[in-house]
Structure 1
Amino acid sequence: MSKAAARSSAPGEANWFTRPPLPLPPEGIEAAERAREDLLDAAEQAGCKRLQALCQGSGGLSSFLASAASLSPFLHSVLERRPQILEALFDTGVEQRLARIFDELAADVAGETEGQLMARLRRLKGEAHALIGLADLSRTQAAQETVRQLSQLAEACTCAAVRFLLRDAEASGRLKLPQRDDPQAGCGWIVIGMGKLGAAELNFSSDIDLIVMFDPEAPAIVDPDEAGDLFVRLTRRLVRILQDRTGDGYVFRTDLRLRPDPGSTPLAISVDAAMTYYEGRGQNWERAAMIKARPIAGDAAAGARFLKELRPFVWRKYMDFAAIADVHSIKRQIHAHRGHEAVAVRGHNVKLGRGGIREIEFFVQTQQLIAGGRVPELRGRETVPMLDMLAQQKWIEPETADVLGKHYWFLRDVEHRIQIVADEQTHVLPEDDEGFTRVARLMGFEDEAAFEQVFRSTLVDVEQHYAALFETAPQLSSGLGNLVFTGDVDDPGTLETLANLGFERPSDMIRLVRGWHYGRYRATRSAEARERLTELTPALLRAFSRAGRPDETAVRFDGFLAGLPAGIQLFSLLQNNQPLLDMLMAVMSAAPRLAETITRSPHVFDGLLDPRLLSELPSRDYLAGRLHVFLEAATGLEEALDRLRIFTAEQRFLIGMRLLTGLIDAGRAGRAFSHLADLAIGHALSVVQAEMEAKHGSVPGGRVAILGMGKLGSRELTASSDVDLILIYDHDEGAEWSDGAKPLASSQYFARLTQRLIAALSAPTAQGILYELDLRLRPSGNKGPVATHIAAFRSYQERDAWTWEHMALTRARAVAGDESLGHRLVETIDAVLINKRPLGELRKAAREMRALLEEEKPPRDEWDLKLMPGGLIDLEFIAQVAVLAGAVESQGRVTGTGEILRCLSPAFVEPGSREVLVRGHDLYTALTQVIRLCVTEPFDGEGVLPGLSDLLLRATDLPDFTVLEAHVAQTAVAVRSVFNELMKA
């Protein structure tokens, strides 16, 4: 520390963080000074004189606090609200203060009520959370210590709540605790920490995953027959104490979905029922999950006994081919997808993305499941210590352990910085410059490019090690057996090989492949093509086998093959490009809609050959650049429209492939599909206008703008969405006719222009159609004119529009056409929407419309995510009512339902309910994007394709389809409850 800094340091500063200020971008220096001033004001108001003196100085600690607060709005808010957290550090070190917090959490307060307990837990957790975050940012401690402290904090808070609830149950006579001074001993209530909590590797803004059980024979149980109801009620209260948001915040979000069969079991189940489930129906992912299981609260001895009895389920004594197949099925269920070496950094999911944390964890867990049955030393919970142990036991090279260990903690650091910004449970690096720079600076990088380079090389390195794990696995490197497809009689050995691969109709499969080799398709007519296909066939069969339903996948591939004009290049590419084969099989096995697309239009597959596909995100600028290049050589209306149809189909397919492979998430897919629609509609309008002007001239001052409604307006289109449009026009006052060789009256001119645009967009052609259109949201609906003058539009919206039409207008935006008219149109809409309606009237209208919808269009089943009670319609109605009621707090106008829900005013909905709505919308969006991408028929959840099931589970980060079904049902109930509360009379 310099002499100047030392002079400005306050007494006791040695107890604090030793890091110099975090590097700030030039525009961040002013923000840091504002943060310092905010902290100074807060210290002054709270009487924290030593902190006040510190903030007035210019020392390294003061600068560090200012830089941390400016980069982390979460820390800024906490420290400004509770400067006493920092004032206390003048008397004690950070470690000592954390120790005292843990002591306070372990202490029981006589006479404390549940409300007082909730407030105390939130206060102590909030302080500890901030201190741990600051220590982590300052590098005063390593990431290993941070995750341990966060896990200890979660465990201490859970134990405090459990002790309170046990004593409360005893006071009411429902339990008789064996040890009053240690209520958890012998209580029979078992709380198992799973995932990162179980491994003591919790991240900064993590849920805590729990499995709750009870032992009805425990000495504390008064009536074994009532134990189930008792512990379910206690568990429900435990969750409420920990995760309900109050004025003091929340403690930890709690997830109980890892319990056995969560869709049909209570929140707490007996140990016998759990053991019966695992022994009879336990899944591969549950074996992997149980590696990290650890009793964290309640009856520790009973929890330890249960996990000991469960060891044979987790740790197989012998490894045979069936067990190895189990391990590889976990790979499928964990949803790790390999791809090209190029990795998009911005927008990358550091946990679930390629080369991310999950791949390192699964690398370790796979080896543990293979060897842990025979090598007890490999049964540990923590990731990096198990990497080292794998190296000691010669299962991996020491260099691999060192490299992956280093990468693991680097990625955990990145994860913590992403989350410390706003205390949000996100793992995605921001795409925007400001957000990305913020994370880079929190990581200590002064140069964003340097951070990007290190991050990218880390992902590539992890992915390569992860890929090598499966390339050398026994099942993947061994021969398949006989594969003979010549002659007219089926080879018995080939029938056996195909049956072993999982084909239900091996004889039909032989005939299918035999047909390929007979050259019955254009793609296989040349001898060279058949040679290449023969060499590729074993890899194809293996890929079909991994798909889960090999017969169906093979038939879809056969349809694709039948439509190919040539095959040599493709067969060569597939033989030498495993990622490309994997992507093709993902389509065939999981996405019948996409399979139909490439079968009908094989040219869309060409886009997958672009090596930049998986490294470039489908932003508007990216798509616009590609569109310009693709269309610049077009001559004439029909060629331009045909090229536009080809381009749109290909890009829609490639956006879908990015979603399918996990490169982009559902939200970004919705924006990309919407960007593509904007550009296609805009280009179609321009060529149609050019044709109109050539024949009929133009109306003086004539201008056209396209208003996007519905999911186009909210930028939430899916792969199969139709588009809702309204065409608005304007012209000079008194302009009654166009000025061309064949003049038209102005209203007729714009009506005909609209009709030609409709034909250009939706008429079926040899190249397909651009979009299905819906124009029913125009003024007066189907009875109104297809084109509307802006004055008529304004008049209708101000005087005649129904409430539901104004609700629909909340999602409207100008998507194409004349920019000045588009701006004027948006101003008109804003003027209509800014007139706040009485909330009571809006609620009444929304209730009536929802009831009418439920009567006229009831949900198909529990997978009708749009129409079901608590589904997307409920969320959209809430968002639309909030906009009309002026209950949205945003810096600018937003049209996306998810964006609006995130900006709902606390006066309109309390924060906990808002989080229910946001999470519900995120869940439904993730599922809807994948379902609409993959299937053509209504999705009902029965007999779902394994590949599609994997995609849905990856999109929602859930381990099993039954868990997903339960989560959807629980979410719908929660959303409907909030809807009813917000819309009540």
Structure 2
Amino acid sequence: MAEERMAAGGLRIGGENHPLPSNDHAARGWRTDLERLAEQRGLTRLGALLASTHPDADRLVAVLELSPHLNAIALKHPEWLEELTGHPASDLAAETIAATARLPEDGTGEAALMTTLRQARLRIALFSALSDVFGASTPAETSRVLSAFAEAAVGAALRFCLLDLKRRGKVTLVDPSDPERDSGLFVLGMGKLGAEELNYSSDIDLVVFYDERKPLVPDPLDAPETLSRLVRRMIRILGERTGEGYVARTDLRLRPDPSAMPLAISVAMALTYYEGSGRDWERAAMIKARPIAGDRAAADLFLDEIKPFVWRKYLDFSAVAAIKDMKQRIDRHRGFEDVGIEGHNVKLGRGGIREIEFFAQAQQLIAGGRAPELRQRRTEDALRELADGGWIDAGTAGELTEDYWLLRRVEHAIQMVADEQSHTLPEEAVKLRVVARLAGLKDEAALRATLLPCLQRVDRRYGRLFSEARSAAETEPDAEALSRLSRSAEDEGALAALSGLGYGRAGDIARIVHGWSLGRYRATQTSAARSRLADVLPTLLSAFGKAHDPDAALAAFDRFLAGLPSGIQFFSLIASNPKVLDLLAAIITAAPTLRETIAARPHVFDALLDPAFLGEVPSLDLLRERLSVFMDLSRDYEDALGRLRIFASEQRFLVGARMLGGVVEADEAGAAFSNIADVVLEQTLAAVETEFAASHGRVPGARIALLGMGRLGSRELTASSDVDLILFYDHDETAEASDGRRPLAPSAYFARLTQRLIAAMTAPMREGVLYEVDFRLRPSGNKGPLATHLGAFRKYQETEAWTWERMALTRSRVVAGDAAFAAEVEATIRAILAERREPETVTKDVAAMRQRIEEGKPARGPLDLKLRPGGVIDLEFIAQWALLTGRADLDLVGAPSGAVLAAADLAPAADGKALAATMNCFTRIVQLLRLGPGGARTADAVPEGLARSVAASLDLGGPEAIEPWLDAETSAVRAAFIGVLGDGG
């Protein structure tokens, strides 16, 4: 009676599922057999449970009837069921895994180890399956348990092999009590093992590497053979079938070049392969790679070294195409065409597990180089981060996550039947009912009602990601007719479609478009590029048809295409994101500067695809954070300089595109461009300092600060501005030379450092130039030393500086360098500017300087707003004069000219606030015009779309009103200038 009461609690599993057997008569027979076996073995609690009316007895017997695999385990090891009447299944599984992780015990032979591992695997199979079927554990929890056991088993087998080789003198271990430590040999779990998402009867994907610099194998030449034999033995220990079954079927085909490479591959060989020959599917595979055995420190270092291979500098839309092609090959090879239930493969078939994985991995590969939070191994985590970052909506992430685990539950159920690595649903109704009940559903009808909508949802989501351009094209008018332009320029249906889209000279446009298919341009020379272009052609033609002048817009795109060095990435980008075509059309027709930037560096267009594009203007701190993340993947100094160029060009392009799209007001752009320069100059200076110090060391007590001048100093940069800089330095008075292997005297050290900094910014690289740099505002201009000692600068300013040099200082601020020294530099500049000179002298000098500029550099047209009388220089000079004469507070040094004017006391000669308002208007014009052709000095010379943007920014009726408005405003400014400063005569 006591034992019956103990059994009254049932099995310590829990869960709300109550599976029914598929054959009641067979279930009663198995119950009788198991009850008899319990009695024979003295398993009193199990026997009492089976003899009772407790629902767990029915649940257990139903599972054993439904699954021949679990039935065999239970009948062979009924004592494990006895354990479940006294201990929670989760605890028993955890204890089994922990015991496996402690193997091998001293003196254990290979046969004994294999038996122990196989029995441990059967225990895990029983405990996890019952928990899963009873509904006590989620599919995610089941997958983690299965993955943890596989990891422990691989570790045990590896340790055994290492210790055995040590006993035979084949390897040298740093610590035989911990053979994996510092061995240099490590195992990466790939695929579902790496992601801790193993299915119930999964193969495990492994890759084994070794650090050839570690002394594991005494003779390095023997390492490939010795360690490959070790791997072969480890795989046999895990995979060979014995009377107790197997531990894990293993697959090593995810290693580099599996047909040619050994089973254990040196890190150096692997890195060379990935950098030179790695393919997109290998990048996708490496997303899930996780160290599971061996030298974890060496594994972490290796994974860190291949980050640049996996996570690209650019958004990589060719990866989407590669993954799509991979899935299509699977479909063709396996014959997966339709969504269904009977005979459907829930892993590889349409709407299956692989489509959800590819959905996540494709977008991880696209953006993971920029967004490190996307570098998630687990599918569920990747979907969550994609939603959090705005790459997909939260509803899509939630839906796909729920569907993923439903599919995984069904997959587990399929495999529990016979422990087969199958993902295919049976075709017979009775067998479908078995799977349904193991998956927690009533019968095959319930399975169909639950699973079919899931498969359809996944198929729809996957199709939208990989076929968005095609879907978009199908909604365009006469898409089929437009696509025929690839084959003929004289197709009547295509010509009619072009006319319907608004093209005036349909025949000419047709000939241009057809020419793209002939491969005359570099961007369309490859068949892959032409195929991508053909896919998106109807959508592209429709987008340009919406332009103010469709024919001119298409002709501009043709010129753009002619200059594009490569097309595959660009067309893949458009195919994956057809919504960007409208903005692209605006850029190509209205903003030549941005158009040329895309043509030279197509990847700058990546920046527009960030989900935050429309919703934010990045702050200085956010830019600093993003650049830091991007730079963390730098392999060396040259790579760092390339990454700085990529980041700067993308971010500058982004500001320009936002201006054109109306996201950023043009008078806000100066601060945005200046923030970009600030963070880039910080990183550039740090990289140059580090690289320079590697050869020349450091000067004792050295401190440096980079002073921004001109538009950079006043935070008014434009899209095409160069940067005016002065590098200040200081050091210990007793310092005579730097402390590196090639020491330099301090003055030479900082001059050379400045030269290196200039080269870092101006050297033409594949990614372009970072910034054009001007150091001529330093003391004595081009005649003085490149780097400026702060003490010498202070002395120069006190004794030799001209008024114009002090004017330049009013637009200055430190943008990089030592924080304490930066404060000292800025305090010095404030002190210099606070030394009042005779106001009359300052006024006369400022007015005379403006007159010299006007005579030496006359304005070249109405839109030469910088130089024309009453233009930007007049306003800047008034602001600088106000700071030098005490009419504006010195706290405004380094502020935009408009802010200085608004705060300046200019009465009674002028109204500072009115001038500030005019300055803001002028700033909008200048910022927008910098997106246009460099020589445009009249409104007629500005592209029509850009001219309309300028007029809109000023609330004018149209482009024809721009020049009259400027005439009136510049006349008012010139009158104010003369009122404040005189005419310079």
Query: TM-score of the superposition, structure 1-length normalised?
Result: 0.49
Q: Which has the larger radius of gyration?
A: 2
Q: Higher relative CO (CA 8 A, sep ≥ 6), structure 1 or 2? A: 1
Q: TM-score, normalised by structure 2?
A: 0.49
